[in-house]
Amino acid sequence: MILLDKDTRALVQGITGKQGSFHTKQMLDYNTNIVAGVTPGKGGQELYGVPVYDSIEQAASNEDLNTSIIFVPAPFAKDAAFESIKHMDLVIIITEHIPVHDSMQIMEYANRKGKTVIGPNTPGIISPGIGKLGIMPTHIFEPGNVGVISRSGTLTYEIASQLTNAGIGQSTCLGIGGDPVIGTKYTEILQKFEDDPDTDKIVLIGEIGGNAEEKAAKYIEENITKPVVGFIAGLTAPPGKRMGHAGAIIEEDSGTALSKIKAFNDVGVEVAKRPSEIVNLLNKV
């Protein structure tokens, strides 16, 4: 597994909010090591046995922490992310609708500090049987040796469910986020899967918009020895119309599903026409 393992000691930012409290309960039920929570003004409380602090500064001086997951509303997410990046090695930003300018500043700061950010607008990460930091429905995942990386939460669930039903377990499933500006890219996760002894095969789920998949294809050709199969959502999407994610928009000829599929095919990566074909492709490689 990658990024999330038994050494993860996580803090939830926005733990007492509606989303934060709901998903904290789910993460704890899946045995994730949630050590603390932060909500300004709610310090001294407890939620499901997890101590709540007013700030990350306070939490970090009282608890041994290395990871933060952010459920803070978009207008306040930048400040929350900056605070996290200062103290944590891994920061997962679930929040959607963060202004692009804020995201750019978050990533610039994370790069300067040498920290890993996943998201924003991500479903998070799950290492089946170990824990999850995010909003994934746990019952569809099964421990195994296929790594899944995606821009889309819903497609992650759809394809993980197909894999599990076919008896194929997953090492780690991770959503990099559907916004135009995100932290960790496909290429970085591909390399982590390449280096991970628990991962034998990789499923890459892409979608229209941007050139992240084309870059991933080039990276696979030059750096990845493990078998990779793909799926690209949005084959029938009209140009100039945003599809679901802020980053899923075709501009002129770039970012189309066909250009992405061609990039993968050119480097020997087979791409499924529909999610239900992934299992067959995996069994073939």
Measured distance CA(25)–CA(31) in Å, rounded: 10
Q: Which of 254, 229, 221 is nearest to 239 (CA)?
A: 254
Give yes or no for a contact between 10 and 32, defined as CB atoms under 8 angstroms apart: yes
| Residue 9 CB partners (closer than 8 Å, separation 6+) | 33, 35, 63, 64, 65, 66, 67
Active-site residue, 245 included: yes
Tokens of 240: 């100039």
8-state DSSP, 254? B
Tokens of 76: 């306040």
Strands laid side by side in the 34-38 sheet: 46-47, 50-53, 34-38, 10-13, 67-70, 90-93, 116-118
The burial of 71, by beta-carbon neighbours within 10 Å (0-12 exposed, 13-18 middle, 19 or more buried), is given as buried
**Contacts of 37-41 spanning 24+ positions with Cβ under 8 A:** 37/11, 37/12, 37/13, 38/11, 38/12, 38/13, 38/14, 39/13, 39/14, 39/15
| Chain-centroid distance, C-alpha 167 | 23
Measured distance CA(275)–CA(262) in Å, rounded: 18
Catalytic residues, which ones? 245
